Amino acid sequence: AAGAALAARATEAKAASASVVLPAGADVAAVTRAALAAAAKEQRFKKEQKELTLKEVTLCVEGADAASAAAAVDAGRAAANGVILARELVDAPPNSATPQALADVAVMLAERYDCLECKILEADECEKLGMGSYLSVAAAGAPPKFIHLTYTPPGGAKGDPVAVVGKGLTFDSGGYNLKAGAGSMIELMKFDMGGSAATLGAAAAVAGAAPEGPACHFIVAACENMVSWNGMRPGDVVTASNGTTIEVNNTDAEGRLTLCDALVYAQRQAGAKKIVDIATLTGACIIALGDDIAGVFTPSDAMAGELAAAGAAGGEPLWRMP
């Protein structure tokens, strides 16, 4: 809150620089993250862009040694970079944030950070892995891109691998069960890739901070849910990569069809022992929890506790659902 307030006040005053004195024990990383994220403004798609006046923020921390404060600032900057990237991806219109564009971002991250390795699977490679569920959703849209980023700590991986899997529907028309009528929110369906944006943002944040620990896999099954002669139809039966057959009763329930193949991949190809998947069960969660709280579904009490603690630390409220 302090960092965001600092950036907002400085921006309002059109100040080129701003300073704040923090008490001993303050969370310097959190203040840094909030200040940088709040100062970033989305202007890429405007005809005229306003120059951002705030160029420098100085944090003065009572009683802190320079080395630890600098390390905290670096950690906060890495987290802010991830937040800003995620925001930019969600903000981008669907003709810009395409499956190919998400793949390009993943490649860019791997080129930027030595600790990241990137693999992009094309449709034929996904077909060889039996991803009939994912590919059925992708059939009517732009070429799908299955994205796999692997983070390996600079000192080597320690412990069981983990994975973050993000829903990557860059536009969701609903398919033949078309989103139509009042309340369908079809004009907002660029945000159906919010899970993939969070996943790629997390990859940027983790790679920037370079923490010790296990290898972490960031996986996105990117595609569009569109309408075409070869698109998925209500009543189709598709086969996922673990052999499960699925009858499609509603083509607008497409997210689970893409995520199931991504989750199988995370287990079989990446060897992940813990997996967090980030989806957009939008309407149901808004009814249950409102606009600002994410629902958590897991049978593991331990994992629910870890996620709740991480959410509290990052300012992202979570609520475990039954």
Instruction: Let me know if 179 is a catalytic residue.
Output: yes
- Active-site residue, selected from the candidate residues 87, 179, 274, 320: 179
The torsion angles phi and psi of 55, rounded to 5 degrees, stand at: -110, -25
> Contact, 173 vs 189, CB < 8 A?
yes
Long-range contacts of 126-132 (CB under 8 A, 24+ apart): 126/261, 129/241, 129/261, 129/265, 129/269, 130/239, 130/240, 130/241, 130/243, 131/221, 131/240, 131/241, 131/261, 131/265, 132/238, 132/239, 132/240, 132/241, 132/261
Residue 71, token pair as written in the block = 């390390």
- Active-site residue, selected from the candidate residues 119, 256, 274, 320: 256
- String of DSSP letters for 195-245: HHHHHHHHHHHHHHH--SSS-EEEEEEEEEE---TTS--TT-EEE-TTS-E
> Contact, 295 vs 285, CB < 8 A?
yes
φ/ψ bin of 203: left (φ > 0), alpha (ψ from -120 to 50), beta (otherwise): alpha
Helix, strand and coil in the chain, % to nearest 5? 40, 20, 40
> Contact, 171 vs 254, CB < 8 A?
no
* Cα distance between residue 123 and residue 182, in whole Å: 35
Residue 265, token pair as written in the block = 């991949």
Instruction: Let me know if 233 is a catalytic residue.
Output: no
User: Looking at the DSSP assignment, which residues form a beta bridge with residue 19?
Assistant: 58
Q: Which residues are catalytic?
A: 179, 256
